[in-house]
Structure 1
Amino acid sequence: GVLKAVANVNERIAPKIVGLSAKAQRRIDSIMIDLDGTQNKSNLGANAVLGVSIACARAAASSMKIPLYRYLRNASGIKGADGADSDDKFLIPIPFSNVINGGKHAGSPLKIQEFMIVPTGASSFSEAARMVSETYHALRQKIENRFGRTATNVGDEGGFAPPIQNAEDALNLLESAISECGYSGSIKLAIDSAASEFFLDGKYILDKEYSGEELMDYYLNLAESYPIISFEDPFEQDDFSAFRKFTYKIRAKYGDKVQVVGDDLLVTSIPRLKEGIRRRACTALLLKVNQVGTLSEAFRAAAMAFRHDWNVMVSHRSGETEDSFIADLAVGLGCGQIKLGAPCRGERTSKFNQLIRIEEEIGQEAVYAGSRFAFR
């Protein structure tokens, strides 16, 4: 638990790093990696290791009197990966906002875990946040009108969890809310299936049973019928072959206009990322810093993905806090995409608010990423 993590920081990590410069990010992270000695930080615990890694980054930025996002860009060494016009520009990410929750994030019959709205057509992050918020509230009213007020209860990530059965119901609700707000064409859609959660005995159990091939065709039909620009974890987390085949079909039909994102498939693990790249299983990495354990390892994973022309999406977790670090990280890495949850619940809105503050602080140096991707 937390008390054990605190004890590990004070009793095991501190004696090894006290006295070092907070600016020595990679050295400090390396010391903790060696001290832990496991692949998944199970000895010291990711809570302890990542907490120290992030604390060092914050301390270093403070001592240098520069914003955290600027320090992270310098520390990562991933300059130019953001596609901004120059090193003086900062790419402000497109928010992928999970507004309908299903699967293990909610108590509804909907098996697919997340349905996201993506304001690619905004001119700034502040406008993107407004578009997301307006659509979210329009969606709430539509759900209440159709299912009653109790259906507007929210799931783990702040999205609604209405009693709907399938993806089409969710996507139709989103399309209707987007249209009502006047954002058709400016807000796209994204899906995180978390397919391992409904995979059983070689079959995918949604509103009916699907084989891997049938599920692939189902996704392709959804892409044909709705403006979906991102499919995350469409298949069971160890099925690299299904990911590869689906990615090939998506790229053949849509090119760079639709991405396939690996989360459970890759778990921000360098070995699994290498395997995913080798097998061309995806076109994007979901980057969760608490999975990899230190900032240096997160930097390495992002750099590897960029080198192979993958997209990178910095992500929150279903269990979150009000800490807004990932907002600075997304700007610092220049990845142009961030998964935030709905504009609801303090642990979700804190990231929106931090990105609005960063964009305002940067001013003319800020470039909203909406126009930087070739999404359809």
Structure 2
Amino acid sequence: MSYQRFFSRLSKEEQDFYETKYAAAEFYRVNRVPEEIERALNELFLQKPEDVHGYLADYFASLSAPPRINRLKGREVYDTRGQLSIEVEVFCIVCNKEKSISSAAVSSYFGPKETSLDWKAGSQRADHVMTAVQWINEPLNHMLKGKNPCDQTEVDHALSDFFMAHYLEEKDIHSREKEESRSPSESELVLFSAPPAQTKDKKNVDKAKRSTTSEKPFPPAEPPEPVLLGSLAIGSVSLAVARAGAVLQGIPLYKYIAALRNQETLTQFHIPVSLVTLLSCGKTSPGKLSLLEEVILIPRVGQRVKQIITMTLEIQKEMMRIMNTSTKAGATQAILHDSGALALGYEKPEQPLDLITEACTNLGLALGTEIHLAVNCAAHELMDYSKGKYEVATGILKSPDELVDMYQTIINKYPAVVALIDPFRREDIDQWEKLSNVIGDSCSLLADMTYKSKAPSLLGVSGRILKHINETTVSDLVLITSDHQGSLLMATTSSEPSSGDSLSDIAVGLGLDYIKLGGLSGAERMTKYNRLISIEEELAQQGILVSKEKHSPPLFTEKLQEQSNTADVA
């Protein structure tokens, strides 16, 4: 049979296959190409893939030089509140062509509104953002050029060294300026240490002596940790490179981060339990109450993210119905808080907890078994330093010891409250320990240590809050969660949330037990919730999704877990 007759009897796919093989073989014969091409053709002939051209493209792409970072591009953008922030774009050389691979931004934190924490007095958000953009487009761009975007450790090490060099340089400049501006006769300001006024009344003098000797002096605030101008660039570049590495390896970001954490391919994943902010009665909310910055819902373990969201929305809907139809709720007005939850105007901390209790009862949800609560007190924002007391409500001041008693009363009355976040300032060391002793195993105490990573642990604190902000790199997150296994509690957006969904991938990849994303409103939060749902569905389809049987400490102590399990059985 002639070649032409044989060829005419072949299907179109077979004809394409043999034409490709003939053309490649002829090219090899004429050009004497390397043996890699001959190997590819031999494998092609044996495997006979349906997509011949795709096979050849993939084969030769695997022989090309690995991707390298070619340049970074930092730009000023506006966050979800219309405030300046930055975005980083990573460009890599892939198969001899420059391609935009990924972009990212992390949440920014520039210190409390009342106090400037940066070294350069009067610097504003624009200065932070402008410096970060300059860092990205110039020194960081040159420093990372040519590096492997899939080597996260090397990239983050370079970023951390760069940040530390600038940190030490600015610290040295600040110290010199402080020394030069200080006069030799300048006296140091000591808070709450002035002796009592002299009086001729012996009884008053004796009383003053007894009070000063029996009461410890009020501890002043710890020196605030500075936020270095430009630090936002470090975390943003680190995350953008991590996203680039995931894209180039063809895997989702959560699997890429999990590989960084375990150095091996994980066969099972779990979705962190979503802690959803139900309502806010904090300092920026309407009404007199300031103590409850957030009341957070802790759902039962084993529920899907969609179920948790649906349940939370039902509870919020029922709370609104109660407020609109009953005077018992006691709220004077309601607005939408920055946390994405409803902000209510109350006078006493019992009122919002009573509202949640009534709403859950009406819906048939067992508060204390199916649902638990955590309270973010944000006590450091309530301190009146002129009086040395916490202003828990307008005109109502409590000393640290009085606040211990107040928390104990709330926890005894509402056993569904199983966690208090930042119930005191960090400086009130004795009260942390005292509260831990009086509440025992009935409640966990959690502290936000984002900028206090090197500070000694507080007695009684069983969990820490993890945030991805400013100079925190992806490798930092991996290291922290590895060093504090079981102690790191949740990932959470800061007060300046970003609109990306990477936080959800990070929480899953790090294997965190909990994630706190805020309330159920606002694009920056719902994007993250939707990403969690997407990851959960993807893992379920792959058959590698596992569900934890119980809450993990420290949010739930062992005793609380046993009580919850007993109630479920009953």
CA offset digits 1:84-107 (Å, max 9, x no partner): xx9422121111111212324434
* Structure 2: segments with no counterpart, 5+ residues: 1-125, 169-224, 561-570
Helix, strand or coil: the match of 2:240?
A: helix
Helix, strand or coil: the match of 1:140?
A: helix
Match of 1:83 in 2: none
Amino acid at match of 1:23: C
Q: Does 1:106 align with 2:300?
A: no
Q: Does 1:74 align with 2:259?
A: yes
Match of 2:405 in 1: 217
Distance 2:407 2:390 in 1: 13
Match of 2:46 in 1: none
> Larger deviation: 102-111 or 197-206?
102-111
Distance 2:226 2:257 in 1: 22
Match of 1:180 in 2: 362
Could you say if the C-alpha distance between residues 135 and 220 of structure 1 is closer, same or farther in structure 2, counting changes exceeding 3 Å? same
Could you say if the C-alpha distance between residues 152 and 366 of structure 1 is closer, same or farther in structure 2, counting changes exceeding 3 Å? farther
Amino acid at match of 1:65: G
CA offset digits 1:19-69 (Å, max 9, x no partner): 111222222122122212228784452321111010011111111111111
Distance 1:177 1:292 in 2: 42
Distance 1:32 1:53 in 2: 8
CA-CA distance at 1:304 after TM superposition: 2.2
Q: Is the 8 A contact 1:124 1:367 kept in 2?
A: no
Distance 1:300 1:336 in 2: 16
Q: Is the 8 A contact 2:270 2:547 kept in 1?
A: yes
- Residue identity (%): 26
Q: Is the 8 A contact 1:122 1:128 kept in 2?
A: no
Q: Is the 8 A contact 2:235 2:470 kept in 1?
A: no
> Larger deviation: 215-224 or 103-112?
103-112
1:96 aligns with one of 275, 279, 293:
275
Match of 2:347 in 1: 165
Could you say if the C-alpha distance between residues 293 and 121 of structure 1 is closer, same or farther in structure 2, counting changes exceeding 3 Å? closer
CA-CA distance at 1:320 after TM superposition: 1.2
Q: Is the 8 A contact 1:123 1:370 kept in 2?
A: no
Match of 1:206 in 2: 392
Q: Is the 8 A contact 1:93 1:125 kept in 2?
A: no
CA-CA distance at 1:71 after TM superposition: 1.0
1:61 aligns with one of 246, 269, 273:
246
Could you say if the C-alpha distance between residues 320 and 247 of structure 1 is closer, same or farther in structure 2, counting changes exceeding 3 Å? same
Q: Is the 8 A contact 2:331 2:344 kept in 1?
A: no
CA-CA distance at 1:190 after TM superposition: 0.7
1:300 aligns with one of 479, 484, 503:
479
Q: Is the 8 A contact 2:232 2:470 kept in 1?
A: no
Amino acid at match of 2:140: I
Helix, strand or coil: the match of 1:344?
A: coil
CA-CA distance at 1:318 after TM superposition: 2.4
Q: Does 1:4 align with 2:131?
A: yes
Matches within 5 A, 1:111-130: 111-112=290-291, 113-130=293-310
Match of 1:190 in 2: 374
Match of 1:327 in 2: 504
Matches within 5 A, 1:208-357: 208-226=396-414, 227-250=416-439, 252-254=440-442, 258-263=443-448, 266-272=449-455, 275-276=456-457, 279-290=458-469, 293-306=472-485, 309-357=486-534
Amino acid at match of 2:359: A
> Larger deviation: 104-113 or 366-375?
366-375
Could you say if the C-alpha distance between residues 126 and 34 of structure 1 is closer, same or farther in structure 2, counting changes exceeding 3 Å? same
Q: Is the 8 A contact 1:270 1:301 kept in 2?
A: no
Distance 2:427 2:478 in 1: 24
Distance 2:497 2:161 in 1: 27
Helix, strand or coil: the match of 2:407?
A: helix
Q: Is the 8 A contact 2:520 2:526 kept in 1?
A: yes
Helix, strand or coil: the match of 2:141?
A: helix
Could you say if the C-alpha distance between residues 34 and 247 of structure 1 is closer, same or farther in structure 2, counting changes exceeding 3 Å? same
TM-score of the two chains, using structure 2 as the length reference: 0.59
Helix, strand or coil: the match of 1:32?
A: helix
CA offset digits 1:156-195 (Å, max 9, x no partner): 0111112101221111111122222322231211100010
Distance 2:429 2:451 in 1: 15
CA-CA distance at 1:135 after TM superposition: 1.5
Amino acid at match of 1:341: G
Q: Is the 8 A contact 2:261 2:510 kept in 1?
A: yes
1:135 aligns with one of 302, 308, 315:
315
Q: Is the 8 A contact 1:158 1:341 kept in 2?
A: yes
Could you say if the C-alpha distance between residues 289 and 123 of structure 1 is closer, same or farther in structure 2, counting changes exceeding 3 Å? same
Q: Is the 8 A contact 1:105 1:156 kept in 2?
A: no
Helix, strand or coil: the match of 1:332?
A: helix
Structure ranking higher on relative contact order (CA contacts 8 Å, 6+ apart): 1
CA offset digits 1:127-151 (Å, max 9, x no partner): 2222122212222333344579993
| Structure of higher CA gyration radius | 2
Distance 2:263 2:147 in 1: 24
Distance 1:120 1:291 in 2: 33
TM-score of the two chains, using structure 1 as the length reference: 0.87
Could you say if the C-alpha distance between residues 53 and 143 of structure 1 is closer, same or farther in structure 2, counting changes exceeding 3 Å? farther
Distance 2:269 2:505 in 1: 11
Q: Is the 8 A contact 1:94 1:370 kept in 2?
A: no
CA-CA distance at 1:126 after TM superposition: 2.3
Give the root-mean-square deviation of aligned CA atoms: 2.5
Helix, strand or coil: the match of 2:408?
A: helix
How many aligned positions are there?
358
Distance 1:245 1:302 in 2: 28
CA-CA distance at 1:292 after TM superposition: 5.3
Q: Is the 8 A contact 1:99 1:136 kept in 2?
A: yes
> Larger deviation: 16-25 or 52-61?
16-25
* Structure 1: segments with no counterpart, 5+ residues: 80-85
CA-CA distance at 1:6 after TM superposition: 1.9
Distance 2:388 2:548 in 1: 39
